[in-house]
Amino acid sequence: MTLALALAPLAALLSVAGGLTVLPILGLLTAVSVVTLHHLNQDLNAARMLFVAAVALAISVIPTWKLNDYTEESRTPGTLAALSLALFLGFTVCASLPAEEAMRSSSVMPVNPSAITTSLMITFTGLAALALRTGIKYQFAGLLTACNGILLAAANAPQTRAVWIVGGSILLLVTTCLWLAQRLSLLRSDSDF
Amino acid sequence: MTSLAEILLFLALSWPFLAGTALRLTGVRGPVDERHEHSTLRIPFAITGLFLSVLDLLVVLSMAGTAPDAVHLWLDETLLAVSGSVILNAGLLTECIALTDSKNDPLSPAECARPFWTTGLVTVAIFLADPLAKIAVLLLASVLRTALVDAVRGRAAGGWSVLRLKGSGALLVLSGLLAPGTSASGMLAGTGYAVLAGLFPATAFPPPVGKSDLPDMRDAGETFRLAAGALLLASVLNSAPSSAGSGATLSVALIGFGFVTLFITSLRMQSVLSGSAVRLRQGLNVSQVCLALGAIAAGRAQPAVTCLALSAPMLTVPWFIRPEPGRMSVLAGRCAGWALGLMSFMTVLFVLHDIATLSVVLTLVLVAILLPAVRRGGRDLLSSPEDLISAFRRLTALRGDSTPVVKEPQG
């Protein structure tokens, strides 16, 4: 368990409240965790590590930069519900899925068992924000948080093929969502409500 | 024989993409008055796709004695996958026949081509061997649909709500598949597949944002095919789980979500007011019931029952949602009501038969949930035989003078 891995769920929780502004920190933490994960296990190839880190940085930085100019409604309801759901889910993950269970029961070894719990916590936090927040920028931030968690889990998975498939589909999803978010934000600032 | 099967499989998988591209290209080239021509091409193309997949099914059935599961390099040709592709192609053909061009609201070339592309992607997703690749291709189909449907100005909000739903479902499935060996893996994957297939937390036909409570009709068939594809993927995954623990929790999750969806939909069917769109609303509700029954069958590892449950709405729902009320569509709607009611009732019997071997209490609960739904659905969907005969008489009496010749619907 590295420091970056331990701080990543905290950054995810902050992104529920703070939206897109916190996301570059989360992306940076995810990228650093992926790189350190692979330093712990030297026999994995460097290409997949670099790919995951690059995708995590790209999906966290580029949407924040692109959506910086657009405005969101000032009201931000749903924060409390999303935060409490995220905390509840994170607690459930920590309580019911200790890393040792994965080590004992699985035949295929993940790279780092403690990263499973962390990635699930990040994913659940993002999905809670995606489900319960209102306003497309906050929902989009939740989607990106969940994607960061999935990328961490994919870098942790033993199959090499998983990384390329997951990274590619996440890039595609985020690109389409960014396109939709830009159009929706434009519509909102045009119609002025 | 093996090489013939491989060539057939390749043709059946690549045909929808070729057909969609051809439709798109011919649609661009022709001027306005030639639009009729390219839209009539849809039906032969869909018939060809159905023919190829049926041939594929026959070949797989005849080879079942020698090589039960032909495993190619990255494709997995199981019987469930082939029958799923037959059902998807039949649904595409039904939608092409039912949603013909109307004069005032013609289909654009991209709108003609899009169902072929998304159906092809769902079929490829069913055939792929790797579970991660399956879900990635299914997500690609959703993304493609959103990008093509909601390219029109003013529809981005609906596209975002669809993509939000499909994205969260796909991310749940991915997180389940990437956490290997744990019992939570199957539960996460089951929840994700339930969200993708439009079970309880979501609905199979999401209404558009800020409009009436009826969903958008022109792409309802496509929405249903995507949901059915997710259910078929769950069925494939459940029949060959990665580990024993995750397989058990996956089936428990599927059965649980199926039961909750049945309960909610049965309640919703009671509250439908009788009005003009009552038949359409009950048809959509019965489709939701069929999805839930399919999920229960998938959780019980009964792929044949899943295919039956999916084929009932797939073949009949496009007839409910014809845009203009003509004489032909009255008869087609009545026949589709009968077909949907009877086929879904057969599915109910099969699922009951299967659940009865599991536990008596569950069977009683299922009967208690389903009885009001069957009663209400029978009252609203099945029109009286005299009504049917009079609609047919009106059609045959008026066909002589001026009505255009329309293909006879099945049902």
Chain A residue with minimal CA distance to B168? A127
* Chain B residues with beta carbon closer than 8 angstroms to that of A164: none
pLDDT of residue A170: 92
Q: Which residue of B has its CA nearest to A149?
A: B175
Cα A158 off chain centre by? 20
| pLDDT > 80? residue B76 | no
CB-nearest to A123 from B146, B154, B171 is: B171
Do B160 and A180 contact (CB within 8 A), yes or no?
yes
Residue with the two structure tokens 């994957």: B189
Given a contact cutoff of 8 angstroms between Cβ atoms, the answer to whether B49 and B93 are in contact is yes
Mean pLDDT of A122-142: 88
pLDDT of residue A54: 92
* Rounded Cα distance, A11 and A13, in Å: 5
- What whole-number distance in Å separates Cα of residue B401 and Cα of residue B399? 6
Q: Residue B136 and residue A166: Cβ atoms within 8 Å?
A: yes
Residues on chain B touching A119 (C-beta within 8 angstroms): 175, 178-179
Q: Are A173 and B178 inside 8 Å of each other by CB? A: no
* pLDDT reading at A192 higher than 70: no
- Give residue B407's pLDDT band: very low, low, confident or very high (50, 70, 90): very low
Cβ under 8 Å to A: B residues 226-245: 243, 245
Q: What angle do CA B202, B207, B212 make, to 5 degrees?
A: 145
Tell me which chain B residues have a C-beta less than 8 angstroms from the C-beta of A110.
Answer: 180
The nearest CA of chain B is from the CA of A138 a distance in Å of 12
Closest CA to A178 of A147, A133, A154: A147
pLDDT recorded at residue B260: 92
Alpha-carbon span B92 to A52, nearest angstrom? 38
A-chain residue closest to B138, CA distance: A169
pLDDT higher than 50, residue B132: yes
Structure tokens at B326: 């003509």
Q: How confident is the model at residue A131 (pLDDT cuts 50, 70, 90)?
A: confident
Q: Which of A111-120, A143-152, B230-239 has the lowest mean pLDDT?
A: A111-120
When pLDDT is averaged across residues B354-383 and rounded to a whole number, the result is 86
Which structural domain, as residue segments, surrounds residue A186? 3-191
Whether residues A127 and B168 touch (CB distance < 8 A) is answered with yes
- Residue B231 or residue B274, greater confidence: B231
Do A151 and A124 contact (CB within 8 A), yes or no? no
Nearest-CA residue of chain B relative to A166?
A: B136
DSSP A70-100: S---S--TTHHHHHHHHHHHHHHHHHH--HH
Tokens of A104: 């004992």
Residue of A nearest to B156 (CA): A180
In the predicted structure, residue B30 carries a pLDDT above the cut 50: no
Distance CA A96, CA B267 (A): 34
Tokens 């079929």 identify what position?
B123
Which residue from A minimizes the CA distance to B166?
A173
Q: What is the pLDDT of residue A102?
A: 54
Return the residue in B142, B182, B187 with the most chain A beta carbons within 10 A, the one to mutate for interface testing: B182
Residue pair B207/B178 in contact by the 8 Å Cβ criterion: no
What confidence score (pLDDT) does residue A57 get? 92
DSSP annotation of B181: T
What the block records as the tokens of B209 is: 């944002």
Sign of the alpha-carbon torsion through B98, B104, B108, B109: positive
| Structural contact between residues B311 and B365, judged by C-beta atoms closer than 8 angstroms | no
R_g over Cα of chain A = 17
The pTM of the full predicted model, rounded to 2 decimals, is 0.86
Residue of B nearest to A112 (CA): B179
Judging contacts by C-beta atoms under 8 Å, the chain A residues touching residue B180 are: 102, 106, 108, 110, 157-158
Q: Is B175 close to A149, i.e. CB distance below 8 A?
A: yes
CB contacts of B159 in chain A (<8 Å) are 180
CB spacing of A172 vs B139 below 8 angstroms:
yes
Residues of A in contact with B210 (CB under 8 A): none
Provide the number of CB pairs (under 8 Å) joining chain A to chain B: 116
The residues that bridge with B77 in the sheet, in sequence order, are B70
> Of A129-143, B95-109, B324-338, which has the strongest mean pLDDT?
A129-143
Contacts A96 to B, Cβ<8 Å? 184
Domains contained in chain A, number: 1
Residue B94, pLDDT > 70, answer yes
Chain B residues within an 8 Å CB radius of A181: 160
B368 touches chain A (CB under 8 A): no
- Residue B145, pLDDT score: 86
Lowest-confidence range among B45-49, B212-216, B307-311? B212-216
Most B CBs within 10 A among A111, A165, A179, A190, hence the mutation to make, goes to A165
Chain A: residue whose CA lies nearest to B146: A176
Q: Å from B157 to nearest chain A CA?
A: 7
Examine the pLDDT at B115 and tell me if it is beyond 60.
yes
**Least confident among A31-40, A111-120, A142-151:** A111-120
The pLDDT, as a whole number, for residue A28 is 92
Residue of A nearest to B151 (CA): A180
Tell me which of A34, A159, A173 to substitute to probe the interface with B (most B C-beta atoms closer than 10 Å).
A173
- Judge whether B180 and A110 are in contact, CB under 8 Å: yes
Per-residue confidence band for B403, with pLDDT thresholds at 50, 70 and 90 = very low
Decide if B1 contacts B64 (C-beta within 8 A): no
Nearest residue, CB atoms, B143 vs list A156, A173, A187: A173
* Contact at CB, B164 and A176, closer than 8 angstroms: no
- For the cut 50, the answer to whether the pLDDT of residue B329 exceeds it is yes
What is the tens place of the pLDDT at every residue in B205-258? 766 555 555 555 667 788 888 899 999 998 888 887 666 667 788 888 999 999
| CA-CA-CA-CA dihedral for B386, B392, B394, B400, to nearest 10 | -160
Q: Which amino acid is at A62?
A: I
Distance from C-alpha of B338 to C-alpha of A96, rounded to nearest angstrom: 48
Predicted pLDDT of residue B181 = 64
ipTM of the complex: 0.89
Closest to A129 in 3D by CA, of A190, A63, A67, A81: A81
Helix (H, G, I), strand (E, B) or coil at A159: coil
Per the CB < 8 Å rule, is A105 touching B182?
yes
Cβ(A186)–Cβ(A70) under 8 Å? yes
Average pLDDT in chain B: 79
Compute chain B's Rg from CA coordinates.
21
Pick the residue with more confidence: A70 or B349?
B349
Half-sphere exposure of residue A113, counting CA atoms within 13 Å on the CB side? 16
Q: Would you list the DSSP string of B131-176?
A: HHHHHHHHHHHHHHHHHHHTTSTT-HHHHHHHHHHHHHHHHHHHHH
Is the pLDDT confidence value at B406 over 70? no
Report CB contact under 8 Å: A176, B147: yes
User: Averaged over B315-338, what is the pLDDT?
Assistant: 72
Q: What is the DSSP letter of B32?
A: G
Give contacts of B143 with chain A, Cβ < 8 Å: 172-173, 176
What are the tokens at B195? 């969200």
Residues of chain B with pLDDT > 90, as a percent, come to 14
Query: pLDDT at position A26, please?
Result: 92
Please determine, for residue B326, whether its predicted confidence score (pLDDT) is greater than 70: no
Burial of A77-92, coded b for 16+ CB within 10 Å and e otherwise, reads ebbeebbebbbebbee
Kindly list the distances between the CA atom of residue B103 and the CA atoms of A2, A9, B39, B106, B236, in Å, as whole numbers in the listed order: 65, 56, 12, 6, 42
Cross-strand partners of A193:
none
Would you state the pLDDT for residue B8?
A: 84
Question: Does position A48 have pLDDT exceeding 90, yes or no?
Answer: no
Residue B202 phi/psi, 5° resolution?
Answer: -110, -175
| Predicted pLDDT of residue B100 | 65
At B169, the pLDDT band (50, 70, 90 cuts) reads: very high
The answer on pLDDT for B400 being more than 90 is no
SS3 B76: strand
Q: Is the pLDDT of residue B408 over 50?
A: no
Residue B292: the pLDDT is 92
Q: What pLDDT band is residue A106 in, cutting at 50, 70 and 90? A: low
The pLDDT of residue B372 is above 50: yes
Say which amino acid occupies A102. A
Q: Which residue has the higher pLDDT, B265 or B323?
A: B265
Neighbours of A45 (CB within 10 A): 10
A185 vs B266, which has greater pLDDT?
B266
